[in-house]
Amino acid sequence: MEEQEKKINETNDQNEINVNKKCDKKSPKSCEASYKAIIASQEEEIKSLNNKIARIQADSENYRKRLKMEAEEEKKYAISNFVCDLIDPVDQLSKVSNMETQNELLKNFLIGFKMISEKFMTVFRTYGISKIEAIGKEFNPKYHYAAEKIYDPTKKDNTIVAEISSGFVMKDRVIKVASVKVNLKENIESIDSKEIKEKEIKGDK
């Protein structure tokens, strides 16, 4: 800012010298025209400087907002890496605890495992982590990974019939997609067309 003021002052001094050189004392109109030209020039320069200052302030404000947003985002997902490491063991524990058995001793162990698994899920929910719904839902590549494809005409097309591994979201971010088995009509059609092609190739031979 001091440099800009110095520049303006130097320009004003130079303009004053130029006016004094050009200004005809016997002709007040020529002096008035010269001063008007200087004023117009200075107004344009002030306008240009104001625009530059406004742009700098806008850039500074945008930068400040971006830093704040990044800090909030980092804070929001600070534990995501730790959670990702926990997901698979917790998922396995959940699956084991839901096993069916006729062994009474094992049943007691499974009850304990189930309690631990539920406790983990309670802690997850505290931090905004929830399990992705899968079985019976329409397949969505954002949340599901089609590890297997089958076709059952008794079930709705493009729906999930089984969950291989659980998926999780943390607040509004997917931290692990669910690995699933999907019922797809196009899957059986592609198999049929493949078999027809193979038969045609054998027939040609």
12-16, 32-36, 58-62, 99-103: which range is least confident on average?
12-16
Q: Which two tokens stand for residue 15?
A: 């303009």
Residue 18, domain member (yes or no): yes
Range of the domain at 56: 2-76
Instruction: Give the residue among 38, 46, 44, 51 at the shortest CA–CA distance from 4.
Output: 46
Q: Alpha helices, DSSP H only, in the chain?
A: 2-22, 28-76, 80-97, 104-126, 185-204
Same domain, 84 and 65: no
Same domain, 127 and 148: yes
Same domain, 57 and 102: no
pTM above 0.85, yes or no: no
Of 60, 76, 92, the domain-final residue: 76
Q: 10 Å Cβ neighbour count for 69? A: 10
Same domain, 63 and 96: no
Whichever domain contains 187, its CATH number is 2.30.22.10
Residue 160, domain member (yes or no): yes
What are the pLDDT digits (tens) for 71-112? 777 777 777 778 888 888 888 888 888 888 888 888 888 888
Q: What is the mean pLDDT of residues 123-133?
A: 89
Length of the chain: 205
Of 27, 57, 76, the domain-final residue: 76
- By DSSP bridging, strand 173-176 and strand 129-131 are unpaired
pLDDT at position 71: 78
Q: What is the mean pLDDT of residues 52-60?
A: 87
